[in-house]
Amino acid sequence: MTKSSASGRRPITIMGFSIWAMVSIVIVFTLLVIISYRQIQDAESAFTKQRKLSVARHLAADLAALQEKVEKVAQSYSNADETRQQFHNSQYYLYWRDSRVKDNPAFAPYINRVELYTKRGFPMTSQLSEGFPGQLSLASSFLIQTESDVLYIYHVSRVHGPIKETGMLGFLVIKYNLANLVLTEARLSDIDKATLGFALSVSRINDLIELAAYADFDLLASSDIEDLIGALSNNMITIGMIVPIISIISLVLFTYMMIKPIRNFETLVHELGRQNIEKPASLVFRFDELRNIWRAILDYRELASSMHSDLDEKNKELWELAHHDPLTGCFNRRAFEEDWQHMLGTIEQRRISLAFVLFDCDRFKLINDNYGHNSGDQVLIHISNTIQNNLRAGDRLYRLGGDEFCTILFDSDKAEARAVATRCLTQLDKTDIRELGINEPVRMSIGIAISEGTNSESLHDLQRLADIAMYYAKRPDNQNIAVYDASMLRDSLTLLNNEVITSVYDAISNKEGLQIHYQPIIDLQSNVVHYYEALSRLEHDGKLLYPDVFLPIVQDRFIEAEFDQLVIQHIQRDLGAGRLPAGSGVSINISGAGVTDKQVVAQLGALSEYLDEYHIYIEVTETSLITRLIQASEYLERLRQQGFKISLDDFGSGYSSLGYLTQMPVDCIKFDLSLVQALHKKERKSLVVRSLADMCLKAGYQIVAEGIEDVGLLNTVTGIGFTHAQGYYIGKPDKVPRAPVAT
């Protein structure tokens, strides 16, 4: 890139350059012609001046020769016998003067008159011719005077006798018409004779050469040099006229021969980018160079086309890479962000109904940890394919990161969104995940946010609202699908409450704020408190926060193991302090992450010193146990061997199945509140629960009924055979372990 183009200067056109070049040539030639013409004029002027000087010298020479001529004429007359005759006998002087003078061989037309004067200077006749002096002044040889605007010169010469002894006879005065004399006798080279004049009226001179000083004349126009100068001047003028004409003709020819084809060529090159042209019939290449350029362009186009195709493919690949998740093949977060922004820009200020659906795999981290990343990847691919296959045609599935996917369902309402989500979940459930080497169920939670939006502002919140719904979907009492509604806002606010987050981190980092409340669980055969379930509370600014508020944050921040350790430490202190009644026990809730955490397991193992004095139960949820079944089973089995009891919490709320149950190292099964309460609602479900309880008892498990809030339910579960019961009717959680209110 040149400096000019880099600086943004627009390149000139060939036509512009051609005109500029032609105008420049014309100007330069014109200037040269003018300069040459002026130089020629100066040369001519100098030559003329020089020539005039030369001519003046020649004129002086002419006048000198003329003087000789005049003197010869005078000599001729003086020597003439007839002239001397008059000095002896002037009787017929007038005849001689008027007639005989002309017969002298020296007579010429420029001789106007001749007069003779005596030795004393007096005229020979009283009838003196016009202009002749009445008496001669002998001081000069020539007298010049103007008569009737004609300049005459009177030449005075002495007339001597034929022999020396005779002496001077008198004077001869010849009157000449000066102009005729000069024009006739002088050569007057290069003088325009018509312009010759002498600027004097009356004068006396001794020498005709003196006239040169008074001569005024023009030079003849023609001479070789002047002809040459004239020819040069004419040539300059001709060139000055021809050059612009030639330039214009050249410009026209250049335009016709070069610029027009180049412009056609330019148009053709432009069109070349839009269509496939080899060479249009109308384009005639007058120049081989243009044809070569055209061929080169075609070759270049072919090469460029090839490169363009490659580049398109590369771009496509790059775009694919940039917008698709390499693992699952679905769109990635970048694609989502672009589509989202595009959607926002497209639907701005328009009413639109759409659903933002957020998918999240439950406990995916455990799968990764337990089965390896390869298996985890296979699970993600399976999830992605399943979801994509169950979306509507044209709907895009995005992987936002990790195990989180989303889609945007345009023109979709709440029912349709839920139907799509349900369809996806159903298909996922139908898949035998064991083909992937995963021996536990893979569950998805789906949060949906609907926008029947009035403007784009509501759309901006969709992702956040779907996120809120997602957390709702993950709650045990939900069906893994939650559509956001306003009631979720409070919880969402809680989720996002900084005070809660601060409290959680204060408890873990600063060991502050955590309280353990103990709720009694009675042995239904003895009606005594068999042990207490340790329930976590966080105190913040005098208020207590319950697990439903802070556990989601703990789970979301993946600090479950840390939190479990904190709880264990607290219980360990209480056990060490003897705050629990002797002979009773304590059940500790351990998270899914904690049950596979070595430190947590080790810390639990440290409580074994209290096994002799207390019953210590480790409560894990069936979900956490199933997602980490192998490793969790290993650790829990090790704890059982040490004397700990394993309690399966919230049985019936999640993936629990009898098949899994048999594989779990469990001593005690805590029936979920929904199961227990079902004993009072529907006969069929109650029957199932009773049979289940019976089956568990027969299998040797202790079974605990949660949610016992009245005596009727207590009697029911007692009648069924539950070994233990827990609920507000029996005793509420308290910082200090207390005996049941009523047994």
Residues that bind other proteins (CB under 8 A): 80-82, 84-85, 87-89, 91-92, 95-96, 99-100, 103, 161-163, 166
Q: Which is nearer to other proteins, 77 or 531 (CB)?
A: 77
Rounded to a whole number of angstroms, the minimum distance from the CB of residue 168 to other proteins is: 13
Rounded to a whole number of angstroms, the minimum distance from the CB of residue 220 to other proteins is: 41
CB 174 within 8 A of CB 155: yes
- Structure tokens that stand for 530 in this block: 């068999």
CB 550 within 8 A of CB 500: yes
Q: Which is nearer to other proteins, 103 or 337 (CB)?
A: 103
Q: Which is nearer to other proteins, 98 or 302 (CB)?
A: 98
Q: Quick check: helix, strand or coil at residue 731?
A: coil
Q: What is the spatial distance between Cα 470 and Cα 6, in angstroms, rounded to a whole number?
A: 55
Rounded to a whole number of angstroms, the minimum distance from the CB of residue 116 to other proteins is: 13
Rounded to a whole number of angstroms, the minimum distance from the CB of residue 188 to other proteins is: 33
The sign of the CA dihedral 128, 134, 135, 141 is negative
Rounded to a whole number of angstroms, the minimum distance from the CB of residue 189 to other proteins is: 36
Q: Which is nearer to other proteins, 80 or 243 (CB)?
A: 80
Rounded to a whole number of angstroms, the minimum distance from the CB of residue 162 to other proteins is: 4
Q: Which is nearer to other proteins, 85 or 375 (CB)?
A: 85
Q: What is the spatial distance between Cα 341 and Cα 451, in angstroms, rounded to a whole number?
A: 16
Rounded to a whole number of angstroms, the minimum distance from the CB of residue 103 to other proteins is: 6
What phi, psi does 475 have (nearest 5°)?
Answer: -70, 145
Q: Which is nearer to other proteins, 134 or 162 (CB)?
A: 162
Q: Which is nearer to other proteins, 89 or 641 (CB)?
A: 89
Residues sharing a CB contact under 8 Å with residue 167, sequence separation 6 or more, in sequence order:
160, 161
Q: Which is nearer to other proteins, 84 or 363 (CB)?
A: 84
Q: What is the spatial distance between Cα 359 and Cα 373, in angstroms, rounded to a whole number?
A: 20
Rounded to a whole number of angstroms, the minimum distance from the CB of residue 88 to other proteins is: 5
Rounded to a whole number of angstroms, the minimum distance from the CB of residue 82 to other proteins is: 5
* CB neighbourhood size of 606 (10 A): 12
Q: How far is CA 458 from CA 264, 351, 406, in A?
A: 56, 11, 18
Q: What is the spatial distance between Cα 337 and Cα 322, in angstroms, rounded to a whole number?
A: 12
Rounded to a whole number of angstroms, the minimum distance from the CB of residue 187 to other proteins is: 31
Q: Say how many Å lie between the first and final Cα of the chain, rounded.
A: 95
Rounded to a whole number of angstroms, the minimum distance from the CB of residue 179 to other proteins is: 29
- Count helices and strands (H / E) in the chain: 25, 22
- Structure tokens that stand for 322 in this block: 């940039």
List, as own/partner pairs, every contact residues 22-25 make where C-beta atoms lie below 8 angstroms and the sequence separation is at least 24, other chains included: 22/247, 22/248, 22/250, 22/251, 22/254, 23/247, 25/243, 25/247
Q: How far is CA 474 from CA 397, 446, 478, in A?
A: 20, 8, 7
Q: Quick check: helix, strand or coil at residue 278?
A: coil
Cα 454 to chain center, whole Å?
36
Question: How is the chain split among helix, strand and coil, in percent rounded to 5?
Answer: 55, 20, 25
Rounded to a whole number of angstroms, the minimum distance from the CB of residue 86 to other proteins is: 9
Checking phi first, is residue 541 left (phi over 0); if not, alpha (psi -120 to 50) or beta? left
Rounded to a whole number of angstroms, the minimum distance from the CB of residue 112 to other proteins is: 21
Q: Which is nearer to other proteins, 94 or 544 (CB)?
A: 94
Residue among 701, 572, 551 nearest 624 (CA): 551
Rounded to a whole number of angstroms, the minimum distance from the CB of residue 159 to other proteins is: 12
Q: Which is nearer to other proteins, 3 or 88 (CB)?
A: 88
Q: Which is nearer to other proteins, 85 or 180 (CB)?
A: 85
Q: Which is nearer to other proteins, 70 or 80 (CB)?
A: 80
Q: Which is nearer to other proteins, 84 or 382 (CB)?
A: 84
Q: Which is nearer to other proteins, 162 or 401 (CB)?
A: 162
Residue with tokens 């209110």: 741
The sign of the CA dihedral 333, 490, 473, 475 is positive
Residues sharing a CB contact under 8 Å with residue 503, sequence separation 6 or more, in sequence order:
513, 538, 539, 540, 545, 550
